Amino acid sequence: MIKAFSTLAGLLFSFLLFSQSTSPLPVKKCIDFEVNGKGDNKEWEKTGWVSLTRIDEGSKYQSRFKIMYSAKGIYVLLYGDDEKITSPYQNDFETLFRADVFEVFFHSNPASALYFEYEISPLNKELVLLISNKKEGMSNWRPWHYEGQNKTRKAVFTEGAMQNNAPVQYWIAEVFFPYALLNLFDHTPPKSGTVWNANFCRLDYDSGKMVKWSWSPIQKSFHEFERYRPILFE
């Protein structure tokens, strides 16, 4: 009986959380600027922080993000309290999700099974993917000629040494996504009034196991794209 009640309570909580997530998050318009990983450009004062929810038992680190858009692309700022960097990966496009990482998902057309996935580690390494998540199975593709205007601009700041197992108090990632990188997707570039679905996530492995944070009310996987929340470009 207790187990059944606990399961029912969990389902009710998920339903309430999901039902409250239907109001789009406003995305403010900004002027283009250079990212430095600190998030100290005055343009960021135009918008507020949005908290991520911890999904798993484990580290109770505060995790949050900001998002804005300009005439050229989308800016995302990600912040996470931490105690140490847990990331051995020294190259872009490695399996970063097996270590500490922030992840960003853009799903510009909810009627499509295609969406964009981005990962950035506290060592400033990135993974950029196009995801096709159909009922028949999921596949992914990396960008070709990933350079120039097609490439992100990114920077990471760590309060402590930027190396694996280094003690830190927090780390920040600041990323600019040019529309040239996202133009495979419908409704790109977004205009005032455009609505996309999106998610902003974090993984941390300080405890020796994966601990997840998410903005959208996912249950097990960051790839539950049907549960991504809407964002509204003002």
Provide the pLDDT for residue 19.
43
Provide the pLDDT for residue 173.
98
Provide the pLDDT for residue 7.
41
Whether residue 87 is predicted with pLDDT greater than 80 in this model: the reply is: yes
Candidates 62, 60, 32, 59; CA nearest to 44 is: 32
Whether residue 1 is predicted with pLDDT greater than 70 in this model: the reply is: no
The pTM assigned to this predicted structure is: 0.90
Q: Are 38 and 170 in contact (CB under 8 A)?
A: no
Whether residue 131 is predicted with pLDDT greater than 60 in this model: the reply is: yes
Burial (CB < 10 A; 0-12, 13-18, 19+), residue 200, is: buried
Whether residue 184 is predicted with pLDDT greater than 80 in this model: the reply is: yes
Q: For residue 97, what are the contacts with CB-CB under 8 A and spacing of at least 6?
A: 103, 119, 127, 203
Provide the pLDDT for residue 20.
46
- Across residues 134-149, what is the average pLDDT? 88
- Across residues 197-220, what is the average pLDDT? 96
Whether residue 149 is predicted with pLDDT greater than 70 in this model: the reply is: yes
Q: Are 173 and 75 in contact (CB under 8 A)?
A: no
Whether residue 16 is predicted with pLDDT greater than 50 in this model: the reply is: no
Longest dimension (CA), the chain: 60
Q: For residue 207, what are the contacts with CB-CB under 8 A and spacing of at least 6?
A: 58, 59
Whether residue 163 is predicted with pLDDT greater than 70 in this model: the reply is: yes
Spatial distance between the Cα atoms of 33 and 125, rounded to a whole number of angstroms = 21
Whether residue 51 is predicted with pLDDT greater than 90 in this model: the reply is: yes
Q: For residue 122, what are the contacts with CB-CB under 8 A and spacing of at least 6?
A: 82, 85, 87, 100, 156, 158, 162, 168, 171, 173
- pLDDT band (50, 70, 90) for residue 181: very high
Give the residue extent of every domain in the chain: 2-233
Asked which of 1-15, 146-160, 188-202 is least confident by mean pLDDT, the reply is: 1-15
Spatial distance between the Cα atoms of 179 and 187, rounded to a whole number of angstroms = 11
Spatial distance between the Cα atoms of 190 and 106, rounded to a whole number of angstroms = 12
The correct answer on CATH 2.60.40.1190 for the domain covering 2-233 is yes
- Across residues 88-117, what is the average pLDDT? 96
234 HSE (CA, 13 A, CB side)? 11
- Across residues 88-116, what is the average pLDDT? 96
Q: Are 99 and 87 in contact (CB under 8 A)?
A: yes
- pLDDT band (50, 70, 90) for residue 58: confident
Mean pLDDT of the chain: 91
